[in-house]
C-alpha cells in the first residue's frame, strides 16, 4: 500500500481514537448525574424512615394523653363517690368507671400495636441510614473515578493529537484538506463516519454503490481516488 494512503489511514485511526475519547468525556456529566441521583434516593429513604418513626412516636404519645385523661376522669368519679347517697347513682357511677377502664384498655392495646410498629420502624430507619452511609462512600469513589476518566481522556487526546500532527506534516496539503472537509461533512457529533474507505470489489466502501470503471482503473494507477457518488477517498485494500 502506498505510504500516503497509509499515512492518511493512520490519521483517520487517530481521529477515531480522539472521537471515542471525546465521547467518553461527554458521558461524564450524565454519569455523574446518575450517581448523584442514587445518592438523593438514599437520602429520601432516610427522610421517609425518620418521619415514619416520628409519626409512630406521636401516635404513642396521643394514646398516652388519652389514657391519662381517662384516668383523671376515673379519679374524679372516685372522688365524688363518697358524697353519693343513692344506690342508683352509685351504680351508675361504677358503671361509668367501668366504661372508662374499658376505654383505657382499648387505648393500651392500640399503644402496644404502635410500640411494635415503632420497633420495626427503628430497624428500617437504621437500615436506611446504613445504606445512605455506604452509598455515600460508593458515590464518592464513583465521582472520583469519573474525574479520573475525564483527566485520562484529556491526556490521551493530547498525546494522540501530537502523533496526528506529526503524521499530517508530510501529507499532501490538498489531500489532507479534502479529508478534513469530508470528515466534517459526513460525521455528526454522535457517530464517526470514515472519510477514507477501501474499495470493496467493485463497490465503494462508503456508500456501497458500484464505482465506475474509470475510478477503478485510476485507483490502480494512483494510490487513491474519490467516489463519484458519496465523495469518500477510496483506496485499493
Ligand atoms: Zn461512495
Are 196 and 81 members of one domain? no
Note the pLDDT of residue 221. 84
- Whether 4 is in a domain gets the answer no
- Whether 41 is in a domain gets the answer yes
- Whether 2 is in a domain gets the answer no
How many C-beta atoms lie closer than 10 Å to residue 42's C-beta?
Answer: 21
Are 186 and 137 members of one domain? no
Are 198 and 124 members of one domain? no
Are 56 and 100 members of one domain? yes
The candidate with the shortest Cα–Cα distance to 184, out of 24, 19, 25, 21, is 19
Task: Tell me how far apart the alpha carbons of residues 142 and 34 are, in angstroms, rounded to a whole number.
Answer: 10
Q: Which of these three, 171, 188, 210, is where a domain ends?
A: 171
Q: Which of these three, 130, 146, 171, is where a domain ends?
A: 171
Are 50 and 110 members of one domain? yes
How far, in Å, is the centroid of ligand 1 from the Cα of 232?
6
Q: Which of these three, 132, 148, 171, is where a domain ends?
A: 171
Are 114 and 188 members of one domain? no
The candidate with the shortest Cα–Cα distance to 226, out of 187, 202, 197, is 197
How far, in Å, is the centroid of ligand 1 from the Cα of 229?
5
pTM: 0.73
pLDDT band of 3, cuts 50, 70, 90: confident
How far, in Å, is the centroid of ligand 1 from the Cα of 20?
24
Question: Pairing state of beta strands 196-200 and 203-204?
Answer: antiparallel
How far, in Å, is the centroid of ligand 1 from the Cα of 81?
109
pLDDT band of 8, cuts 50, 70, 90: very high
Q: Which residues are placed with Cβ below 5 angstroms of ligand 1, an ion?
A: 204, 206-207, 227, 229-230
Sheet holding 233-235, edge to edge: 203-204, 196-200, 233-235, 224-226
Q: Which tens digit of pLDDT belongs to each residue from 105-146? A: 999 999 999 999 999 999 999 999 999 999 999 999 999 999
- Whether 220 is in a domain gets the answer yes
How far, in Å, is the centroid of ligand 1 from the Cα of 186?
12
Q: Among the residues of the chain, which ranges form H helices?
A: 3-81, 87-169, 173-186, 213-221
The count of structural domains within the chain is 2
How far, in Å, is the centroid of ligand 1 from the Cα of 18?
24
How far, in Å, is the centroid of ligand 1 from the Cα of 104?
90
Q: What does pLDDT average to over the chain?
A: 94
- Whether 217 is in a domain gets the answer yes
Are 138 and 52 members of one domain? yes
Spell out the residues 6+ positions from residue 38 whose beta carbon is closer than 8 angstroms to its own: 135, 139
How far, in Å, is the centroid of ligand 1 from the Cα of 203?
8
How many C-beta atoms lie closer than 10 Å to residue 204's C-beta?
Answer: 23
pLDDT for 1 beyond 80:
no
How far, in Å, is the centroid of ligand 1 from the Cα of 164?
25
Are 165 and 75 members of one domain? yes
- Tracing cell 448525574 back to the chain, one arrives at 33
How far, in Å, is the centroid of ligand 1 from the Cα of 197?
9
Note the pLDDT of residue 99. 97
- Whether 214 is in a domain gets the answer yes
How far, in Å, is the centroid of ligand 1 from the Cα of 14?
22
Note the pLDDT of residue 188. 75
How far, in Å, is the centroid of ligand 1 from the Cα of 237?
15
Are 125 and 180 members of one domain? no
- Whether 3 is in a domain gets the answer no
How far, in Å, is the centroid of ligand 1 from the Cα of 205?
6
Are 199 and 151 members of one domain? no
Query: What is the residue range of 37's domain?
Result: 9-171
- Whether 43 is in a domain gets the answer yes
CA distances for 60 relative to 19, 113, 123, 227, angstroms: 63, 9, 17, 83
Note the pLDDT of residue 151. 97
How far, in Å, is the centroid of ligand 1 from the Cα of 87?
114
Instruction: Name the burial class of residue 20, with classes exposed (0-12), middle (13-18) and buried (19+) by CB atoms within 10 angstroms of its CB.
Output: middle
Q: Which tens digit of pLDDT belongs to each residue from 146-192? A: 999 999 999 999 999 999 999 999 899 999 999 999 998 887 778 89
Are 213 and 161 members of one domain? no
Are 164 and 97 members of one domain? yes
Amino acid at each position: 500500500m502506498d505510504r500516503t494512503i497509509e499515512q492518511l489511514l493512520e490519521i483517520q485511526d487517530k481521529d477515531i481514537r480522539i472521537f471515542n475519547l471525546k465521547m467518553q468525556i461527554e458521558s461524564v456529566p450524565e454519569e455523574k448525574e446518575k450517581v448523584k441521583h442514587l445518592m438523593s434516593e438514599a437520602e429520601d429513604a432516610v427522610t421517609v424512615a425518620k418521619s415514619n418513626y416520628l409519626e409512630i412516636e406521636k401516635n404513642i404519645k396521643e394514646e398516652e394523653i388519652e389514657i391519662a385523661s381517662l384516668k383523671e376522669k376515673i379519679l374524679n368519679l372516685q372522688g365524688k363517690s363518697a358524697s353519693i347517697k343513692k344506690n342508683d347513682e352509685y351504680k351508675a357511677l361504677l358503671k361509668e368507671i367501668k366504661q372508662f377502664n374499658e376505654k383505657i384498655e382499648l387505648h393500651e392495646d392500640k399503644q402496644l400495636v404502635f410500640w411494635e410498629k415503632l420497633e420495626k420502624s427503628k430497624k428500617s430507619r437504621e437500615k436506611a441510614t446504613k445504606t445512605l452511609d455506604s452509598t455515600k462512600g460508593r458515590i464518592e469513589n464513583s465521582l472520583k473515578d469519573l474525574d479520573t476518566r475525564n483527566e485520562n481522556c484529556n491526556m490521551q487526546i493530547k498525546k494522540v493529537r501530537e502523533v496526528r500532527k506529526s503524521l499530517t506534516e508530510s501529507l499532501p496539503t490538498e489531500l489532507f484538506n479534502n479529508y478534513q472537509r469530508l470528515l466534517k461533512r459526513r460525521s455528526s457529533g454522535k457517530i464517526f463516519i470514515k472519510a477514507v474507505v477501501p474499495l470493496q470489489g467493485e463497490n465503494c466502501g462508503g456508500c456501497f454503490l458500484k464505482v465506475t470503471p474509470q475510478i477503478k482503473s485510476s485507483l490502480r494507477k494512483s494510490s487513491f481516488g474519490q467516489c463519484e457518488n458519496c465523495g469518500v477517498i477510496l483506496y485499493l485494500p
